[in-house]
Amino acid sequence: MNRCLSYLLGGTVLAALGIAPVSAQESLVVAAFGGKHGQTLQKCVIDTFTAKTGIKVTVDQGVSSVTVAKLKQQKGNQSLDVIWLDGEVSQAAESEGVFQDIDPAKVPNIANIIPEAVHKNKDGKITGLDDYYYSVGIVYNEDEVKEAPTSWFDLWKPEYEGLSTWPSMSDGSGPPMLVYVSELLGGGIDNLKPGVEKMKELEVAAFYDSGGNASNILSRKEAIIGVLDSGAVWSLADANPFKVGFVIPKEGGLASGTRLHLIKPSEAAYAFINHALTADAQKCFVENYFYGPSVKDISLSEKAKARLPWGPNGSIKDLRFSDAIAINEHRQEIVDAWNRDVLGRQ
Partner 1 sequence: MRINRLWAAILLGIPLIYLIVFFVTPLGMVVVDSFSNEAGELTLANYATVLGEAYYWRVLGYTFWIALVTCVATLILGYPLAYYMSLIERRRTMRRLCFILILMPLFTSNIVRSFGWIVLLGREGLVNETLLLLGIVDRPLRLLSTEVAIIIGMIYVMLPFMVLAIASVLQNMNGSLREASRDLGATAFATFLKVTLPLSAPGIVAGTLIVFTLSISSYVTPRIMSGGRSVVSSMLIYDQFMLVFNPFLGSAIAVVLLVASFALIIAYTLLMERRPARGTST
User: In the complex, which residues of this chain contact partner 1 (CB under 8 A)?
Assistant: 162-163, 168-170, 204-209, 217, 220-222, 331-332, 335-336, 339-340, 343-344, 346
Picking from 265, 259, 279, 261, the residue whose alpha carbon sits closest to that of residue 106 is 265
Our CB check for partner 1 shows the closer of 209 and 280 to be 209
As a whole number of angstroms, the distance between CA 128 and CA 88 comes to: 12
Q: Which is nearer to partner 1, 124 or 158 (CB)?
A: 158
Whole-number minimum distance, CB 338 to partner 1, in Å?
9
CB nearer partner 1, residue 54 or residue 167: 167
What is the separation of C-alpha 307 from the centre of its chain, rounded to a whole number of angstroms?
A: 14
Return the SS3 of 69. Answer: helix
Q: What is the rounded distance in angstroms from the CA atom of residue 198 to the CA atom of residue 286?
A: 35
Q: How far is the CB of 216 from partner 1 (least distance, A)?
A: 9
- CA–CA distance from 258 to each of 119, 206, 274, 281 (Å)? 12, 28, 15, 15
- Distance from C-alpha of 299 to C-alpha of 301, rounded to nearest angstrom: 7
**Are 102 and 69 contacting, i.e. CB atoms less than 8 angstroms apart?**
no
* Comparison of 60 and 222: residue with beta carbon closer to partner 1: 222
Which is nearer to partner 1, 103 or 142 (by Cβ)?
142
Minimum Å gap between C-beta 42 and partner 1 is 30
Closest approach of Cβ 333 to partner 1, in Å?
A: 9
Of residues 92 and 300, the one with the C-beta less far from partner 1: 92
The residue (of 3 and 220) whose beta carbon lies closer to partner 1 is 220
CB of 339 to partner 1, least distance (A): 5
CA distance 344 to 324: 26
Per the CB < 8 A criterion, the answer to whether 281 and 44 are in contact is yes
Q: How far is the CB of 174 from partner 1 (least distance, A)?
A: 9
Phi, psi of 120 (to 5 degrees): -115, 155
Q: How far is the CB of 144 from partner 1 (least distance, A)?
A: 11
Separation between Cα atoms, residue 296 and residue 342, nearest integer Å: 42
Beta bridge partners of 13: none
Does residue 161 sit in helix, strand or coil? Answer: coil
